[in-house]
Every structure is written in C-alpha cells, then in structure tokens.
Structure 1
Amino acid sequence: MSFEEFGLSPELLSGLADVRIEQPTPLQNEVIPPALQGKHMLVKHEAGDDGVFLIPALQKLTTNGEVTGTRVLILTPSIERVKEIDEKVWGMGYHAQISSAALSMKGIRTQQEQAIKDGAPVVVANPGRLIEILENHKLTLPNVDLIIIDEAHGMENYNLVSRVKDILKYVDGAPQSLIFSESHNKATEQLADFLLKDPTVLGFDDTQSSEKEGSKETSSSKKEKQQESSSDKQTDSDEEFELNQEEVNRKLAEASVSVVLNPEEKEEAEETQAQAEDSKTEEDPDPVPEDLAQAYIYVPPRAKISTLLAHLEKNLTDKIVVFAASKRTTDRLFRIIRKKGWGVVSINEGLKEEYYNERFGKFTSGEMKILLVGGLSATEVELDEVKQVINYDVPNEVEEYKYRAELVGNGKAARIVSLVSKMDKDDIDEIVKKVGYAPTELPLPKEVKEKKGRGKKSDNDKNRKKSDKNSRKKNDDRDRKRRKKPKKQKNKKTNGLPRPSYEGLSGGKEGKKNKKRPTPGKSDGAFGWIKKLFD
C-alpha cells in the first residue's frame, strides 16, 4: 500500500516527504488502518519506526475540525525519546501547522507549564513531569482523544505505571489508546489492562493476546485461589509436624539466606525507595557539588562584552561554553570574538542539523576552544566535560543553573562563572538561596576598570568644557548687551562730549545760539559769505 491509499491529508503527505518517508513500512501497513478507525491497539514495536503511531495521530489532527486544546498525548519514559518524538512531530506536521510541546524531566519547567496552559495540540511527555504540572496547577486535559504509550516496557522502572494511571484521572472521556512495547513485561500488562478496550494485538503470541482480550482469570480471583491454596498447605503441614525453629535458623545461617517475615512491608519499602530514586533521577538535576568553583563578576553598565572578552583572554587554553539568552546575542558575540582569532563557534535554537553537527564537532574535537550557546538549555547540549561554563546571561531558573554546572568537569580549573549585571541580581540571589552556598566574587578585570576610569575622566572633561563654554557664552552675552546699550540712546552724550547738530555746523562757535533755521535771504557765517560770493 501507499500513504495515498490510507487517505492521508495533502499537508501530512508533504510533511512525510520532507522527512524522507516515502513508503509505509510493513508494520505501518498493519497498524495505520485500524488506528485510523479508532481501534485500541497493543503493538510489539522497537524504537526507530515512530511513524507507525505519529502518522495516524497527525492525520486525526488534520481531519477532526477546529477542536482546540491538547488532543494527542504521547507518554514515554525516556528523556531522549521526548526530544526525538517532538522533533518528528514538528517535521511531519509542519505543512499542517501542527505544533507540539515537549515535557521532559530536564526541560525548563515554567515553559512546560505554559505549554500545557496554552493547550498545545500534541504533548510529548515524561509521566513524572506531566503529573507534577497537572497536580501543582490543578489543570485538566478535557479534549484528549488519543493516548499513545511509547516504550511501555520501560515504564516498569521508577513506578511510572502508577503515574500514567494518575494522569488518566485528569483526562476526560474515554480516548482511544495505542500501546507500543518491545516486550510483554509486567508494566506492559498493567497498562494494557488499564487502558485498552477490546484491543487489536500485533506482534505478541496468542497467550499474551488472550490475556488482553479478557480470556484469562482476573487477578483478584487468582489471588483468592492462591490464598486458599496457601492456607490449605499450611494447615496440612501443621498437622504433620511441629516446626523446629532452632534448626531452621541454623540452616538459614549456613546458607546465608535472609528471611523476610512481613513481605508486604518489604514491598512497600521497596516502592517508597523506588519513588525516591525516581524523584531524584527524573525530576531534579544533581545538586551542585560543593567543591565546584562557582564564581561571579559584578559587571557595571555597558561593560558586559568587554568583561567577557577580558575573561576569555586569560583562559584561552580551556574549553569554554558561553550561555546566552538568545541567538541574537550569540551572533553579536561571535562576530566580535572571531575578529580576535580565538577559535569560536556558535549553536542556537533552530539551527539546521547539518550546521549544528559541524560546529559542535569542531568544538568537541578541540579545533575550536569557545562554544557560544544561544537560547538552548544545557540539557540540549550533550557534553561530557568542559573546563569552564560562563553564564553571559544568568538563567532565571535554578534547575537550568544546575544543569549547566553538570557540564563542568571535576578538575581544579573547572568552574562556572556568571556575569552579573544589575538586572541579574534577583536571579543570582535566588540561585544562591536554592543551591545553598554563595559563589565567590571575582574582581572586575583590570583593563575594564581602566576603561571605566577613562570613561569617567572623559565625562568629567566634557562636563568641565561644557561648563566653561556656558560661562563664556554668558559673559559674551553680557558684553553684547553693554555694547548695545549706548546705541539705543542716540540723543544722549557719549564720553561726556555733546553730539554736534546740522545747525551747529553752520554757525561755528556761535552756532550754538542759533536754535532756529535762518530766514531766507539772511545767511550768516561761512555759508552766507559763500552764497554772497556766488551771487
């Protein structure tokens, strides 16, 4: 058969072409048709062929109208599988615009909580993290119509079966269930009994199939029969002989066998211990070791890049990972550091796999000494050991700080350094509070201090020059006002001397007394004499 014969949507077919799935596998040919018909299924399945359950799941999302909220719930015990499945959902569902949320035990909790609240159409989750979010925030999953259990055999560890059952309390209705498992162990059996109704069974033998179809005796009736049988045997044995306890103790000591008088109490203790180990293993990162050198540098405003560069220059022999909050920041840092010739590569969220592998390989091989990580959690950077982790941006989650600390080796030079600005103070205070012991403050690099000092001196010079300029301007304005003042008083004396008038010029010294213009025909003085001469 071909995917077209399954009646898949054009958008999903395009997505399958993008991830290079061209023809259905034999198992897909068996599983997809009954899954699309809404059948409950128990399938023997090994990891690798994830299309066997993702194809029918995504097809349901493309055909069931405009129902909002989480409609497909995929539960898996493995942290790595959460990431793998989430990426495949994104690739296959890209053209159908199907989004998903990954809830792994090593993810950032606040982002995962928001994804549940927003109602991501597909949720891929570790049971421990999902039930924690549902219980803490009293959330429900009312629109789920398909539940997929991936690697059901792995649910046997850490009491995950009971967590799956608890999750179902927050799911409304009776959704279709598909269980995929490599083996038919106790966990698979319990999940099948709890979730499946009249299932189609593929890959397991007839005996195991009949167990799922209800032909076996119920577990309660089996237990009753065993109790009756045990009671009968005990009665018979009591009648036949009297127990010699001393002899029993001697033989047990010789055989080095320990006797459990109350097996029920032992089972409860083992279950409690398993839950504790599960909580420690899955939910929280390892505590930050006290011998890890934690440090921070208090960075003044507009000095973070120069502080980073000065710090890197003193540690170029180490393998260093620098975490930043965004791709934009790492791009800027990459351009600056590359000009220094220090050997740097950058990775970030959304980077194509081929580029990611190439850059990451250059760092792990030692060809490049500095790795810039933008917008990614430390859980997504698979490093065994680095000599130094630098928080260019302090994480706002204590768990993320611990995950970054896990990347650091245990050598004497190993440490995690945070560049703390005024905006980061609250975050670093919260980290110190949760971790339990404070990082050591490192001094601001000498060259940054000097640059900062020159900056202050330069500012003082500028202010002084500006003050002098303003003072000179005021003096000039005052002088201009003084110079303009006499011009306004045109008829007043200047420097104590009388301003001559036209009439005064006509009469010489005696002209002062002639305040009236002379009458025609009577001209006195030089002008009169000249006039008479021409006449």
Structure 2
Amino acid sequence: MKFTELNLPEAVLKGVAEVGFTELTPVQEETIPIALSGKDVAAQAQTGTGKTAAFLVSLFTRLLTSGKRTSNNPRALIMAPTRELVVQIVEDAKGLGAHCPIKVQAIFGGMDYDKQRQALKDGVDIIVATPGRLIDYAKQRVFTFDRIEALVIDEADRMFDMGFIKDLRYILRKLPDFEHRQTMLFSATLSPRVRELAYEFMDLAERVEILPEQVTAERVEQLLYHASRREKFPLLMGLLKKELDAERVLVFVNTKREAEYLTERLKANDLKAAVISGDIPQNKRMRILADFKEGKLTFLVATDVASRGIHIDAVSHVINYDLPQDPEDYVHRIGRTARAGALGKAISFADEDLVFHLPDIEEYIGRKIPSRFPEEDDFFWDYKRGAPRKKAPPAHAKPAAAAAKAKKPRRRGKPRSDGKPSA
C-alpha cells in the first residue's frame, strides 16, 4: 500500500513525500488505518520497522482534523524511555510535520530546565518526553494533562526494563479517561506486563503483531567469526580494510571499560571514533550522535545500556565486538542497521569466553548464524598499538587518596607549658 492511498490531509502527505516515504511498511499498513479510525492500538513491532512514522502520521492527522489548540495545554503526549529516542522522535516529527501547524516539544532531563519550562508555558500541541522531568513540570502546574486527545507509549517493554512503570502509571492516571482519548502502544514484545498496561489504560485496543519474518532483522546479512580475544582487534582492522563501504559503523561491547579502550585503539589507528556511555553529559552525547549521523564519525562504540534509543538511519554495519550475553540484546543490536526496509550487515566475534552464549542466541532467533574461522589474510597485525590497557584495581584495593590518608601518622597537639599533652 502507498501513503497516497490513505485518507491523509494534504499537509501530512507533503511531509511524507519530502522525507522520501512512498510505500508503507508492514507495521504501518496494519496500524495506521486502525489509528485513523479512532481506535486504540497495541502493536508488537521490532525497532527499525517504521513505527515512529506510523504513530506520527496518525497523530498529525487526528490533530489537524479535530481543530486548533484552544489553550496552551498539550493535545497529545508521546512517552519514550530514553532521551536519545525523544530527540529522534522530535526530529522525525519535524520532517513529517514540516507543513503542519503543530508545535512539538521535547521534555527530558540533562538539558536547559527553564527553556523547556517556558516552552510549555508558551503552549505546545505535542509533548515528546521521558517521564521524570515531565512529572516535575506537571506537579508545578506549568501545564495540565486535561486536554490530551491522544497518547503514544513507545518502546513500552524498555520502559519496564528501565524501571519507569511507577512514573508511567502516575502520568496515565492524570490523563483524561481512556474513553475520552486515543491510545497507541508500541513494543518490541507484548509481554504480560505490557498487556496488563494495555488492558488497564486502553479502550479495547486492537492488537497488531508483526511476525518475525516481517521484521527488519531479516534483511540483515549476518556473519559470525570464531576468534580468540587476542585476535579480535587485528581481525576487526583486517575486515575494515576489506569492507570499504563501511561508512557508518556501530560497534557493541559488553562493558563501559572495554568501550573506552576500544575507542582509543581505533583513534590511535587514525579512525574517526567516539564512545557513548551513560556518564557522558547529555549535551556531549547529542553532539556525538549528531556527528555520527552527519558522517563526521565513522565508528560509534557503545554498550547495550548506553545504546538504548540510538535510532540512526544508514548504519551500514553493526559489529558485535563482544557477543552479547542476553539473546534479546543480539536482536536489538543488529536492528540498528537495515532500518525501514534497507539492507545492512551484522558481524559478530565469538571469543573463547563469550562463545558459550551463542547457542542461546541461535535458539532465540530460530536459526543458525552463518559462521567461519578467519583466514590469515583476514587479519591485519601491523596496526598501531596505542596506549596500553589500564589494569583494573583489585576489588579489595583502597583508592590512592584513602591509602595515603590511612598511612599518614595522626597529628598530635603541641605539649602544654605544664608538660601535660594537649587535648
């Protein structure tokens, strides 16, 4: 089905055409007609299948047809689990809604508090937010939820994983009753907890489930190399010399320390790389992601926790430098490429420690990952070594400052004139 076959306002169709969308993806074809009819939707769809466009097109159409904003309070709310996903949704909204007189505002922590507060006071149509700061503004009565016509909960399963359920329930209870609003829920898995949320706060939602053979991961060319820990970096360098089309590469590791070390090694070999970790300030994280999107960086090294919400088009390769220990993380990782029907490559390294997680991954995805042992010409050993790896201090070791303080002799007061020691 093509977007032109849907009964969409002209302003929405212009935005859809300008971002290059013509045919609907499976999740869009299933959910948009239901949403346009005014019914609630609970959809199971993997990341990268076009669900952001599905709910944005539906939201814009609803708000345009229901009339103009009559107060400064928002008319629609989109909830997401991470700041990066909020930013990505707002960027997509700018493209798809370029010709719509609809104001979209991002609300999340780590950015200018007063600026976001003032934007809400001035009036917005759609809020895209993580729960924490949104609740803060609501408690201050900067805005109210009274005029919300439509609610979208994106990546609901991730919200449960990240402990947002209490905040989410608080917000849902502040909204108009489900009979007086439309609710759309999108989740990679419709687990019992997600279904419970749907049944409690939605009005007889239409359930949509995109079968595994329809998800983007099926369009990812997967390959696994059996290599020792010592061989992984020279193998990576060798493969990069062969894969000349590796323009935008996401590299996944299992720990923050490994991510930082690997990034430094890539930089030492004159490769444009950066690391995304949870303790990096939000402004810097956004700059790094912007540089990656614009092609100023070729490699982005991340852990699973830090990568939540990284939705970037045209990622040519995903490299599992460390094989994940959780099978679901494997699917999540390779879903970063081959987005919205494009093709992509996913290369994994299974070393002597992490190879034991391979059977669980293959059982979860329902098939064997094509694998091979690297040939000698797959390696590139003449790479620059860079700084040596820092050894992690033993768990029982005291910090240097604490150790020095412990060794320092306790200072005694000067003797008093009567010869007795001072207090």
State the TM-score, normalizing by the size of structure 1.
0.39
More relative contact order, 1 or 2 (CA 8 Å, 6+ apart): 2
TM-score normalized with structure 2 length: 0.48
